Amino acid sequence: MSSPSSTFTADGNERQEFPGGPIRLGSDAHRVLFCRTLLDTFNPYKPAVIDWPPLDDDARGRLVSLPIWDIAVQTEGRARLNVASYTAEVSDSLLRRAVELNAFEEGRHKHVLSNLVQAYGIELAPEPPYPAPRDPEWAFMKTGYSECIDSFFAFGLFASAKRSGFFPEELVDTFEPVIQEEARHILFFVNWAAWHRRTMPIWRRPYFELKVFAVWIYLVWERIGIAKSVGGSSADNNFTLTASKSVHEDISVAELLDLCLSENERRMSSYDRRLLRPRLVPALARWALRFIRPRRPALHGPRPNS
């Protein structure tokens, strides 16, 4: 397949056109497709001019009671630094612009959350320092795979809150761009990972796969450890799961997973079908549903004559 043609934007940056037809993972066309998808779907909203809707006492009380705000702000602060640190490792100009936009949007999420808690008088704990990561690739991967977990559950919880009326509709609509940006980020990340492993030297691939495995072990261990400390002073990195009962008291685990799966599919459906989608967390959710979904009682009765 020939390389995509290039043009230049007004600021002199190279703008490569969308490739047509089938693409091969790890190809130049694949790189252009996942980078251009992120860049071209950028939403230029400004956190400072968001008009946060007024809430009555009950709605504000429900919002303030959610156990997510400290960790949400801190997570976005670390995410911006982790993603931004990786730009120094990227030599390709198009990929670097996409990673820079990813980092900008992570920082913008933090500003949105900070403005939200200020608008509604939500008190936060003092933010810890955010040290620069020693291994930028590890930090970028940790943020990317972490968002693959958290965004999957956030999609379902956001829809549950909207359906139940936990959040006023005006607040849901105001926060929608942030949720959809998370979908863009994990789509970009999983395609970067697939492209990256196929374009690196063969001798580096075993080490990369070990690093991927180590990141997942770290994230699972982090969530197990934090889950044991719920109710203590530690911030809850698994806030999307622990907040489920707060958002919708009547939702079961099976119903939540079903909603997460359907929302994940809906949010990903608007993007180019040639791009990879996050697979592991949805696959684990489907596997878990086989065991936790209520089974229908067996029907007993006389067997028909053979």
**299 in any annotated domain:** no
pTM above 0.95, yes or no: no
Choose from 11-15, 73-77, 226-230, 243-247 the range with maximum mean pLDDT: 73-77
48 contact partners, CB below 8 Å, separation of at least 6: 111, 115
Give the three-state DSSP class for 242.
Answer: helix
The model's pLDDT over 44-87, given as tens digits with 9 standing for 90+, comes to 988 888 888 888 888 888 888 877 788 888 889 999 999 999 99
More confident residue, 99 or 119: 99
The predicted structure's pLDDT at residue 233: 41
Cα angle vertex 275, ends 272, 278, to 5°? 120
Domain count, the chain: 1
More confident residue, 163 or 198: 198
Average of pLDDT values for 109-131? 88
The predicted structure's pLDDT at residue 298: 54
What is the pLDDT confidence band of residue 2, given thresholds at 50, 70 and 90?
A: very low
**6 in any annotated domain:** no
Give bridge partners of residue 14 from the DSSP assignment: 8
The predicted structure's pLDDT at residue 152: 94
Supply the range of the domain harboring residue 153. Answer: 25-43+54-290
In angstroms, the CA 305 to CA 273 distance is 50
Mean pLDDT (the chain) is 84
Average of pLDDT values for 143-170? 88
Of 9-13, 203-207, 251-255, give the lowest mean pLDDT range.
9-13
**224 in any annotated domain:** yes
Give the three-state DSSP class for 6.
Answer: strand
The predicted structure's pLDDT at residue 299: 53
Query: Could you tell me the CATH number of the domain that includes residue 187?
Result: 1.10.620
**305 in any annotated domain:** no
What H or E segment, with its residue span, contains residue 165? Answer: none
Type of residue found at 273: R
pLDDT at 241 over 60: no
**146 in any annotated domain:** yes
In angstroms, the CA 38 to CA 30 distance is 13
**10 in any annotated domain:** no
What is the pLDDT confidence band of residue 15, given thresholds at 50, 70 and 90?
A: low
pLDDT at 187 over 80: yes
pLDDT-above-90 percentage for the chain: 50
> What b-and-e string marks burial along 234-251, b requiring 16 or more CB atoms within 10 Å of the CB?
ebbbbbbbbbbebbbeeb
In angstroms, the CA 84 to CA 80 distance is 6
**278 in any annotated domain:** yes
**205 in any annotated domain:** yes
Q: Among 82, 111, 81, 87, which Cα is nearest to 100's? A: 87
